[in-house]
Amino acid sequence: MRIEQDVTRGAAIEISVDGIALAAFDGETIATAMLSQGMAMFRRDARGRPRGLFCNMGTCGECMVTLTAENRRVRACVTDAQNGMDIATDG
Amino acid sequence: MSKTDVLIIGGGLIGCATALHLARAGASVRLVEAGDINAGASGQNAGSLHFQMERRFLENGAALADQAARIIALNRLAIDEWRGLEVDLGVDLHVSQKGGLMVAETPEQVALLEAKSRREISGGLATQLLDGDAARALCPALGPDVLAASYLADEGHADPRALTPAFAHAAAEAGAVISTRQHVLSITRRSPGGFDVAAKKGDEMETLQADQIFVAAGAWTPAVCALANLHIPLFPVALLMNATERTGPILPQLIQHVGRRLSMKQAYAGNVIIGGGWPSRLAQRPDGGFDLNARASIIPLSRSGNLRAAIDIVPQIGALNLIRSWTGVTTISADQLPIAGAVSRVPGFYVAAGGSAFTLGPTFARLIARVMGGERVEALDVLSPDRFNHLNSFMG
């Protein structure tokens, strides 16, 4: 869900999360792109249950994802989506 | 007005565990905590179960090391205590006792390990000395700079967020009455024995009458004991802890360093917890002295030094994100050993605080409860508050 009226967006871009193509806009975070399209699970816990992000402001570390090109773990909530980015949630 | 056999001041690990043991033994127990259960060092520490002699006892010369060796007997009791805790409390505390390695990187440190191990073995603690390759065979994540390690199969870690609440819950089930956000304002001795304690919760004053008082208030212990006109020589110490992001299993053991400040373990969820005694900065009161009620602040050089030590020993740590650093305030006594036992200057008054109390706290609690029940417990002699009796010659 995105606000559609009276809003100026960056250019349309596309990222890939776990092989699924997600439409996003320049200036949005990876977490925003995921959540806007219903991808709320960022990992599974030790008991196999789905876990989402918690604080969405860079503090809790619950939204770590892997940028596969650099094999680098980042916080999805404070990392801007960039066109063509390939992301894995399970690192 | 509340009247109990025992009043415990402090809702940390030792206070809650002692409440459990005393309540189980049939005593009526009231516990008051000025903040929240497990809010101090009991819940802030890094969760090491370390039974090898601590590095700080070795770096200050032979006299202190001899004194520390006397705590080995307590460590042996603590090993058994931890093996039974989850069953006793019926709670998953993420206790892991898959061994601990204290590593050395230089020939001088290897010599320290050898001296330490000799002391431990003579005290009945089965440490084994391993060369670097043997240590890496046990823990392949160890880097090439590890020259040797002493291994103790009983060491490990547990979850400090889980333990004290579990003790508090069990104590309440056993009949102890626990109140939080209740501040003790005064302690008055009654004649011929016992105490009247004034406590305040919100705007409400309450008189708590008890035959025995047990102060287990961590860094606040000297201030609480001052209410009874007693000196307890404990000094606040602010430490640093760090957590990396979760990663796959890389560290089954507790890792410590004999010559550098480092402790490291992988928690149940997969985060690597890194600490080892790096200082943080205690908050200051405007009128002078330390402010224990304000959070200690992180010293950037401590953090970088701590992480450097971790990466030097386990190079893979360098690829992980640091997700959290926090400070916690514990205490250290004038002679570095914890203080636990009866203050004979004031009959009925007991105290326990002074560090190492995640690993040893459950054992202190069990033994203190026996002492308060009238038993003579030799294992606690080495920690007796009476070794500082001279400070209370004109007090009490």
Most B-contacting residue of A65, A73, A90 (CB-CB within 10 A), to test interface:
A73
Mean confidence (pLDDT) of chain B: 95
CATH code for position B261: 3.30.9.10
Same domain, B144 and B275: yes
| Three-state DSSP class for residue B386 | helix
Contact A64 B270 (CB under 8 A): no
How many other C-beta atoms lie within 10 A of the C-beta of residue B283?
Answer: 17
Same domain, B132 and B240: yes
Same domain, B260 and B317: yes
Task: Show the domain range for B215.
Answer: 2-43+161-229+335-392
Distance (Å, rounded) from C-alpha A31 to C-alpha A60?
14
- pLDDT tens digits for range B58-115: 666 666 666 666 788 899 999 999 999 999 999 999 999 999 999 999 999 999 999 8
- Does pLDDT of B386 surpass 60? yes
Distance (Å, rounded) from C-alpha B117 to C-alpha B219?
31
Q: With b meaning 16 or more CB within 10 Å and e meaning fewer, what string describes A75-88? A: bbbebebeeebebe
Tell me the H-state helices in chain B.
13-24, 41-44, 55-58, 62-69, 72-89, 107-122, 132-138, 160-173, 221-226, 300-313, 361-372
- Is the Cβ–Cβ distance between B5 and B29 less than 8 Å? yes
Same domain, B170 and B103: no
Same domain, B218 and B342: yes
Closest CA to B40 of B332, B327, B271, B300: B327
Most B-contacting residue of A54, A64, A66 (CB-CB within 10 A), to test interface:
A64
- Does pLDDT of A91 surpass 60? no
Contacts of A64 in chain B (CB under 8 A): 245-246, 321, 323
Same domain, B136 and B219: no
Contacts of A73 in chain B (CB under 8 A): 245, 320-321
| Helix (H) / strand (E) containing A22 | strand A20-25
Same domain, B105 and B219: no
Same domain, B329 and B292: yes
According to the model, what pLDDT value does residue B30 have? 98
Contacts of A61 in chain B (CB under 8 A): 245, 321, 323-324
Q: In this structure, is residue B241 part of a structural domain?
A: yes
Report the gap between the CA of A12 and the closest CA in chain B (Å). 30
Same domain, B349 and B263: no
Residue with tokens 């309450």: B206
Same domain, B284 and B303: yes
Q: In this structure, is residue B285 part of a structural domain?
A: yes
Nearest Cβ partner of A73 from B245, B268, B324? B245
CATH code for position B169: 3.50.50.60
Distance (Å, rounded) from C-alpha B248 to C-alpha B369?
41
Same domain, B165 and B217: yes
Distance (Å, rounded) from C-alpha B225 to C-alpha B240?
27
Q: In this structure, is residue B57 part of a structural domain?
A: no
Contact A61 B320 (CB under 8 A): no
**Domains, chain A:** 13-88 (3.10.20.30)
According to the model, what pLDDT value does residue B187 have? 98
Q: In this structure, is residue B268 part of a structural domain?
A: yes
Contacts of A45 in chain B (CB under 8 A): 269
Same domain, B293 and B315: yes
- Is the Cβ–Cβ distance between B40 and B241 less than 8 Å? no
B60-74, B238-252, B313-327, B366-380: lowest mean pLDDT where?
B60-74
According to the model, what pLDDT value does residue B65 have? 63
Write down which residue in B287, B316, B333 finishes a domain.
B333
Number of domains in chain B: 2
Q: In this structure, is residue B190 part of a structural domain?
A: yes
According to the model, what pLDDT value does residue B396 have? 85
Q: In this structure, is residue B251 part of a structural domain?
A: yes
